[in-house]
Amino acid sequence: MMQKGFDSEVFDSQAVFRSLLLAMANPGTIAATDINISCPPRLQSGAGALLLTLLDFETVLWTDMDTDTPEMQWLHFHTGTRLTHAPNRAGFALFTDSEKLMDPSRFNPGTVASPDISTTLVFQTRGMDQEHHLRLTGPGIEKETFIHLPGITTAFWENRAIMNQAYPAGIDMIFVHARRFTALPRTTKVGVC
């Protein structure tokens, strides 16, 4: 049987978006949603809530899961999002397994005249805290802030930095763990401590 989505589409999605707005505006801060939704097992509830908030029939989603899984059927049922197997055509991409992380440059960074048509990546991680592991600077950060995202390799951050040299083209990222999330827009400089 299909699991339900938000209790209130109007108010739950507003609350989730508002935390996401502040997360994207203040990179590296850890936001949390108190919305309780019961997603299919391989989706963390924060990721489920974010995707229900952002996806609809206009969006194109790439994912590391098979399309016939209960997770993808649930997302498709509640949002109507289209799916793609081509990373560079995706408006959103969902990584459920950080073992399978790919070079972010396989996704769409947008063009120099339309950098907004780029892919937004959503990662489910194994944890998230503010230990001094990654040092973040850039717009939205007063001086510097620190975050630790276990399981994401140094090579991944190096690839991200190379790709974002093409600014304003670039890839924006949201990392989720359980009900918490943090955002790293393309403008955020990441230094591995």
Q: How far is CA 122 from CA 62, 92, 181, in A?
A: 10, 7, 10
For residue 89, the minimal CB distance to another protein (Å) is: 16
Q: How far is CA 66 from CA 10, 96, 175, in A?
A: 29, 11, 21
Q: Is 59 in the site for another protein (CB under 8 A)?
A: yes
| Count of residues touching another protein (by CB under 8 A) | 40
Which position among 22, 155, 161, 162 is part of the footprint of another protein (CB under 8 A)? 22
Scan for tokens 């790439």, then name that residue.
62
CA-CA distance, 101 to 28, in Å (whole number)? 20
Q: Is 20 in the site for another protein (CB under 8 A)?
A: yes
CA-CA distance, 82 to 121, in Å (whole number)? 16
Q: Is 11 in the site for another protein (CB under 8 A)?
A: yes
CA angle 139, 46, 118 (to 5 degrees): 45
Q: What residues from 109 to 128 belong to the interface with another protein (CB under 8 A)?
A: 111-116, 118, 120
> How is residue 120 written in tokens?
């937004």
Q: Is 186 in the site for another protein (CB under 8 A)?
A: yes
Binding mask 34-53 for another protein (x = CB under 8 A): -------------------x
Which position among 4, 18, 89, 126 is part of the footprint of another protein (CB under 8 A)? 18
Stretch that binds another protein, among 11-19, 34-42, 60-68, 99-107 (CB under 8 A): 11-19
Which position among 78, 123, 172, 182 is part of the footprint of another protein (CB under 8 A)? 172
Scan for tokens 């950098």, then name that residue.
115
CA angle 169, 170, 176 (to 5 degrees): 155
| Interface contacts to another protein, rule CB under 8 A | 9-11, 13-15, 17-18, 20-22, 24-26, 53-59, 111-116, 118, 120, 139-142, 167-168, 170, 172, 185-187
